[in-house]
Structure 1
Amino acid sequence: MRADAQRNRARILAAAEEVVAEMGVGASTEEVARRAGVAIGTVFRHFPTKDDLLTAIMKQLALRFAEEVESLARQGDPEAIYTFFANVVAQAAAKRTVVELLDVDIQVGGQLQLMREAIGTLLVNAQRGNTVRPGVQLDEVMALLTATSHAALRGGWSDDLRRRTLAIVFAGLRPD
């Protein structure tokens, strides 16, 4: 791909993520093109359908989350699972992208599987470091992460409510 085409693609994706975060998945591709500073035809050359564009946004977001969680896992900090959990919920509260794209029928299984595996590593590190109770399973952590992120977005949570809710969730994960 030519350098200018790569720059256009990156600008389109950045603009699309911003637009979807503000307006939801129903946002127009025309608005994406306007914010990216490209013609609508350029958007469709890179992403023939809106679902293609949404898939690319979700893949990019999932990859960022996977990279973040992998970086935290490499550090070996038993508290890292809480850091990651809080970051995801904060992003969900600030952006529609995190939760709304999960409701779109798009194929991002590979990226989500990488993130899930890395969260599993954080969980194992946390259990070895005695910061998460031994009986907690990855499916439970993923369910809590998804539910809390969804509630943060849908509920219009204040920072204080998010902090208090996370304190309750984290207290439930910690050893007695």
Structure 2
Amino acid sequence: MPSLETEKTRALRADARRNRDRVLRTAQRLFAERGLAVSLDEIARHAGVGPGTVHRHFPTKEALYLAVVIDQLEQLVAEAKALAAADDPEALFTQLTRMTAMGAENATVKSALMAAEFDLRTVAADVAAELTDQVAHLLARAQAAGAVRADVTVDEVMALVAGTFAAIRHAGAESDPERSAHLARLVLDGLRVRG
């Protein structure tokens, strides 16, 4: 039977996890809405936690926005796994649309990561590789079903996603979900088999 002290430690850990998650969600929203000028103290206030809580989990703003991006990649991996469980050759397009939408919505964070010279394939190698593996699985299934061109590789698909971010940014469509989705469809339609 667990001791009272063990139960208290578990409760504290669960509370710390909830606080960290609350800070991540709040930071994601505020970075997307207002850019990276938002201070850690302001994020704490909006998350309903003390500044010390934010600083304990994320000692710098760079650490926080990197954590936001890694968290989003982990969400995309989970979504790709769920899509892989369904027998739908269009699942690849669903996943790529989600990826481009998330990227467009968080262009500020991506720009900051580039400016800070963070390469996600290096600093978040495991989750970046896992996302690529999930996309590769969806791609292979779509190709086997004849929904996607046979001459496309996963590296090319990932390059198209990155190119879509650039197109959305070039068009100034980051804050216009309909327009950014339209641009993404234009790019991703090039993957489809033409009859």
TM bin (shorter chain): 0.7 to 0.9
Map of 1:71 onto structure 2: 82
**For residues 131 and 68 of structure 1, what CA distance do their matches in structure 2 show?**
20
Percent identical residues: 36
Deviates more, 1:94-103 or 1:112-121: 94-103
Q: Do structure 1's residue 95 and structure 2's residue 106 form an aligned pair?
A: yes
Greater alpha carbon shift after TM alignment, 136-145 vs 160-169: 160-169
TM-score by length of 1: 0.87
What's the counterpart of residue 44 of structure 1?
55
Q: More relative contact order in 1 or in 2 (CA 8 Å, sep 6+)?
A: 1
Counterpart check, 1:8 vs 2:19: yes
Query: Alignment partner of 2:149: what SS?
Result: coil
CA contact (8 A) 2:36 2:109 kept: no
Equivalent residue letter for 1:100:
S
| CA–CA distance in structure 1, aligned partners of residues 177 and 29 of structure 2 | 21
User: Structure 1 CA distance, aligned partners of 2:89 and 2:152?
Assistant: 14
Residues 44 and 76 of structure 1, relative CA distance in 2, 3 Å threshold: same
Query: Matches of residues 1-176 of structure 1 in structure 2 within 5 Å?
Result: 2=12, 3-96=14-107, 99-100=110-111, 102-103=113-114, 104=116, 105=118, 107-153=123-169, 155-157=171-173, 158-159=176-177, 161-176=179-194
Which residue number in structure 1 is paired with residue 6 of structure 2?
Answer: none
Q: CA deviation at 1:42?
A: 1.6
RMSD: 2.2
Distance 1:109 1:169 in 2: 26
| Separation of aligned partners in 2, 1:98 and 1:152 | 15
TM-fit CA distance, 1:138: 0.8
Displacement of 1:98 after TM fit? 6.2
AA aligned opposite 1:169: V
Q: Distance in 1 between matches of 2:95 and 2:113?
A: 18
Shift of 1:51: 2.3
What code does the residue aligned with 1:96 have? Answer: A
Number of aligned positions between the proteins:
176
The worse-fitting range, judged by mean Cα deviation, of 116-125 and 166-175 is 166-175
**Cα distance change of structure 1 residues 161 and 45 upon mapping to structure 2, 3 Å threshold:** closer
* Cα shift at 1:133: 0.7
Distance 2:113 2:132 in 1: 14
Distance 1:47 1:173, change over 3 A: same
Structure-2 separation of matches of 1:102 and 1:118:
23
Cα offset for 1:50?
Answer: 2.0
Relative to the length of structure 2, the TM-score reads 0.79
Q: Which runs of 5+ in 2 are unaligned?
A: 1-9
1:87 Cα offset (Å) = 1.9
Larger Rg over CA atoms: 2
